[in-house]
Amino acid sequence: MLAPLVESYLVLRRRCGFALKSEGNMLRSFAAFADAQGDAHVCAQTAIEWARLGRSAQQRARRLGHVIRLTRYARVENPAHELPPPIFGSEKGPRPVPYILSPEEVQRLVQAASALGHHAWYDTTYSTFFALLACTGLRLSEAIRLRFTDITPDGLVIRCTKFGKSRLVPLHETARAGLERYLVQRRLYAPFDDHVFVSLRRNPLSISSVECAFHRAARTAGLPRAPQRPRPTLHSLRHTFAVRALETCPDNRDHIMQHMVALSTYLGHGHVAHTYWYLEATPTLMRDIAERCERFVIGEQP
């Protein structure tokens, strides 16, 4: 029976801060599959057969990766568990190239959202919402969950984020002024709900409604949507914020490291490596990297 092993593994990982919702379900599915085969220990062949049930190569690799991590845990106490080889390749495919908005495109998007013509409150809400995403780099879910008590003199308190941690996001004075102008109307519109952003029905915004408003505003603003090119999405506003922040990084190795760590913390990334990915996002950043590498090679101070 592998079910107790799976549960003890999940308990340990969750105590380390991992949610493991989908992975937990997958491992319970594997334990049931292995029990049906009569396996008392993790069997590499059984794990491969179970992983093959995935519908895509990446899904099969991910399923097998779950079992590999479980087996490493199990083999610490019992080497009878067989460690499956990663025959399906990498669990993660290449990240898509992000769409980075120019300052003019951000301005056009916010202006388009303010004139969608659906309803005055609808337009005000979404123009403010998109402007806040653009100037803070918040995740969509974080902005939707904002409440009045999260707005402090020091900035926005982002509670229980993607990785279960809270963080403070400072606001530029212009961003704070724009948010305050919105809140004057907001408190009158739905006084009995404490969410910062609410719909026409005076309920918290839904992801689907925000995405719909974004695509309407993007079409009105004329953001390009061409084959073989990245397409603008709501997450593009977060990508754009991160890239523009990196473009202002000081030209000094120690300062660069401090800048990256600060930006990673600001964005709420679980690992600084997720922030380094943005270095590949624009020609400007790639050119800066190439120039600094060249200066380093020829002996100049990096």
235 a catalytic residue:
yes
pTM: predicted TM-score of the whole model, two decimal places:
0.69
Q: What angle do CA 182, 239, 96 make, to 5 degrees?
A: 140
Characterize 186-213 residue by residue with b for buried, 16 or more Cβ atoms within 10 angstroms of its Cβ, and e for exposed.
Answer: beeebeeeebbbbbeeeebbeeebbeeb
139 is catalytic: yes
162 classed as catalytic = yes
User: Catalytic pick from 52, 118, 119, 162?
Assistant: 162
Catalytic residue among 238, 239, 244, 266: 238
In the annotation, is 269 catalytic? yes
Q: Give me the pLDDT at residue 88, please.
A: 92
| 172 given a catalytic annotation | no
Domain ranges of the chain: 3-75, 103-221, 235-297
DSSP the chain: --HHHHHHHHHHHHHTT---HHHHHHHHHHHHHHHHTT-SS--HHHHHHHHTTSSSHHHHHHHHHHHHHHHHHHHTT-TTS-----TT--SS-PPPPPP---HHHHHHHHHHHTT--S-HHHHHHHHHHHHHHHHH---HHHHHT-BGGGEETTEEEE-S-TTS--EEE---HHHHHHHHHHHHHHHHH-TT--BSSB-TTSSBPPHHHHHHHHHHHHHHHT----TTS----THHHHHHHHHHHHHT--SSHHHHHHHHHHHHHHHT-SSHHHHHGGGGS-HHHHHHHHHHHHHHHTT---
pLDDT on residue 143: 94
Partners of residue 256 on adjacent β-strands: none
Q: What does each of the 302 residues of the chain score in pLDDT, given as a tens digit?
A: 899 999 999 999 888 777 788 899 999 999 999 999 999 999 999 999 999 999 999 899 999 999 999 999 999 999 999 999 999 988 877 777 788 899 999 999 999 999 988 789 999 999 999 999 999 989 999 999 999 999 999 999 998 766 667 888 999 999 999 999 999 999 899 888 899 999 999 999 999 999 999 999 999 999 987 676 788 999 899 888 888 887 777 665 556 666 667 777 777 776 656 665 666 555 565 566 556 655 655 665 55
The residue annotated as part of the active site, out of 66, 81, 239, 269, is 269
What pLDDT was estimated at residue 154?
93
Of 176, 235, 259, 274, which is the active-site residue?
235
* Main-chain dihedrals φ then ψ at residue 169, nearest 5 degrees: -110, 105
Residue 118 designated active-site: no
> At the top level of CATH, which class does the domain 103-221 belong to?
mainly alpha
